[in-house]
Amino acid sequence: MKHSVWVLALLLVSPNVLAQSSGTAVAVETQKNQATSPSGAAATMGAAVQSNDRTPANVTGAAAPPDSATQTSTGTAQGSSVLDAISKKVALSYFGVFRGPGLGKLDSTFQPTVYGATDRTNTQSLESYITTGYKINSDVTAGVITHFFYSPFTNVAGTNSELQMWDPLLVIGKKNLVNQGGLNISGKLTAQLPATTEDILRSQHMATGLSPTFNISYDIPNSKWNVSLYTYVTAYIPTTTAVPGFTSYKIYAAPNCTYQFSEKVGFTVWVDALQLTRNQGTGFISGMKNYTPDVEPGIAWEFVKGFTFNPMINIYPWHASLASSSIQAVITGAVF
């Protein structure tokens, strides 16, 4: 990724560690090409995670009268019943990517470039996707993804500070397109809306970006390994006033794997292998440009049921150094 990560999502680790998304994993790699063609997609991670309906026991001690205990138990059951009813129809999830400093300059407020220089156009930031949706059934969800960045620092251009909204997306996702013999395929379709000047659509005068996205996951039998592929294609639809040389399409593919140490902790590796973009007016194949591939080893920890913290190191294998390698982290979670 050009400016680091790694949607949607999602590292996409096995279901025991990370909830696989049908909504926000739009793409973890979204900001890789932020400077030239910001993505409205990745990752696309973080969708249907079962809500935590466990409630603490209301034990008040031996002195508590029996009728009081009965009333408390009834109230708790009613509250749990309401949450269960909401969780069956409402989807609310979060997917975030923190992009931090290079390992060679941990006190810097900026991210490093692929060659290890200080990238003064990109400060440390937290990119966030919040998916709000309606569960049509247990496998199908439709909704809206809110996309924004937060950075407490200002770059040399005077931007990237505080909160910056990017284009929202409409999304419909389906889990379990295939679910057999350890193989699981989920998919979704997003449509980017031209709502902000910071994102790619309005700046290039395009109508929308359509992104069919798939997560293909396989649990290796008799092992603690899971191997996956997260991939999408974005087709940008121009308006009659689209700028010459607009971004016409993007292809992204990220193989990844997880080794499950325990129910809540796993070792993860994400590889941004393909990050192809093509501009209008260039060859359909020959005009494709691929950003420098990167590898991101990390540890995924489900610190609360349904919420996972996944710190990692972003490494460019062909330009590996402390200066170019950076600290990153993915945070995913679902309320419903």
- The reported pLDDT for the residue numbered 11 is 37
Which residues fall within 8 angstroms of residue 271, CB to CB, at 6 or more apart? 254, 255, 256, 293, 294, 295, 296
Q: What is the pTM of this model?
A: 0.77
Report the pLDDT value the prediction gives residue 5, as an integer from 0 to 100: 37
Nearest to 214 by CA among 39, 93, 45, 336: 45
Residue 73 has a pLDDT of 54
| pLDDT < 50: residue spans in the chain | 1-72
- What's the pLDDT score for residue 16? 40
Nearest to 147 by CA among 291, 7, 13, 335: 7
30 alpha carbon, distance to own chain's centre: 9
Q: Which run of H or E residues covers position 203? A: helix 200-204
**pLDDT value for 74:** 56
Task: Give the type of residue at 62.
Answer: A
**pLDDT for position 153:** 85
Top CATH class of 25-52+69-334 equals mainly beta
End-to-end CA, the chain: 31
What is the rounded distance in angstroms from the CA atom of residue 96 to the CA atom of residue 45?
9
Query: 329 has which bridge partners?
Result: 98, 311
pLDDT at residue number 285: 87
Which residue in the block uniquely carries the two structure tokens 């990017």?
166
Domain coordinates of the chain in residue numbers?
25-52+69-334
82 contact partners, CB below 8 Å, separation of at least 6:
none
6, 28 Cβ separation under 8 angstroms: yes
User: Which tokens sit at 188?
Assistant: 């979704």
> Which pLDDT does position 79 carry in this prediction?
62
